[in-house]
Structure 1
Amino acid sequence: MPRSTGNVLAEILAERQRQDAKWGGQDHDPSTWLMVLAEEVGEANQAVLEMLFPTYDKRAAERGPRTLAEYRQELIQVAAVAVAAIESLDRQDQSPG
């Protein structure tokens, strides 16, 4: 059953809260945020790769095939990191308007 946009956004918010609980508030420069975001996108790519080719390497073969649910969770993390980067940028940009 498709999830509504509101439900997906609630999941992203919950992931943001989990990230803040784990790491605390973070204010990185834009290039650091892009590296963190790229790492998360890489994990989403990894999930799809292991779903499509579950025996491509020994670790993936031992773990078994990934699922669409795992890929989806990685996308939630990508979105949450993007939100964290925007929040950080907004905190650092104190210019009017």
Structure 2
Amino acid sequence: MMTEPTTPAPLPPSLITYLAQRDAQHADAVRTALASLTDRERALIKDAAVMGYVRGTMHPKDERIPKDGQILAEVIDACLAFPDLYPAINSTLADSTRAVFAEVHAERRRQDEKWGEQNHPDGTGSTHQRDVANSARAWCKDAFGSGYGTWSDVLAEEVAEANAERDPARLRAELVQVAAVAAAWVEAIDRRAAQAEDGDTR
């Protein structure tokens, strides 16, 4: 015997009033929070929120949700790929740095397309690697102290310090420094090229 579906009982007027008041309070809280921000802060939040929503809709439902730090990195990385659509986040970088990061972003995409996702052991933190890091620091300090320091010396020190770390958080921090130094070196090469070109045109 089939039974007809029952109609849900209407909400009590007092509960409807309470829910409406709560929604209004939440809306007021949002407006107050937004009003307390600078134009710059609001623009950054807008860029991150929109891209975060986009990335969220693209995330496979059967995969685990990434950690906050990974989500933030993915959102910023995606925003940097579309400077016209997400100008606030992109404007935080100097033009030269943004151009280098765009090239890095493109290279990372090429790597993923060619090799797929890579998950290798870190292979860091050995006694030998710590000794190498100490030597690299001493070499870099002496080189710059003598006035002969080079980008190669700086990057070699940063790479050696990354290789010396076994703790994942500290290793990650060192690798970010490696990437930053490499980007700065590329920017310096570009500046030299631009200066040489300007000199040739005079």
Task: Give the TM-score of the pair, scaled to structure 1.
Answer: 0.50
Matched, 1:36 2:136: no
Of 165, 174, 179, which residue of structure 2 is paired with 1:74? 174
Q: Which has the higher contact order (CA 8 A, sep 6+)?
A: 1
- Tell me which residue corresponds to 1:46: 164
| Alpha-carbon shift at residue 5 of structure 1 (Å) | 6.5
- Tell me which residue corresponds to 2:191: 91
Divergent runs of 4+, >3 A: none
| Alpha-carbon shift at residue 6 of structure 1 (Å) | 2.5
**Per-residue displacement from partner, 1:33-64 (whole Å, max 9, x unpaired)?**
122111100000111xxx2xxxxxxxxxxxxx
- State how 1:46-65 maps to structure 2 within 5 Å: 46-47=164-165, 51=166
C-alpha RMSD over aligned residues: 2.8
Which residues of structure 1 form unaligned runs of 5+? Answer: 17-30, 52-66
Q: Give % identity.
A: 46
Q: Which AA in structure 1 matches 2:193?
A: D
Task: Give the TM-score of the pair, scaled to structure 2.
Answer: 0.26
Alpha carbons of 1:5 and 1:46: their partners in 2 closer, same or farther (altered >3 Å)? farther
- Tell me which residue corresponds to 1:6: 76
| Count of residue pairs brought into register by the alignment | 59
Alpha carbons of 1:43 and 1:5: their partners in 2 closer, same or farther (altered >3 Å)? farther
Which residues of structure 2 form unaligned runs of 5+? Answer: 1-66, 81-88, 98-148
CA distance in structure 1 between the partners assigned to 2:179 and 2:75 by the alignment: 13
Q: Which AA in structure 1 matches 2:186?
A: I
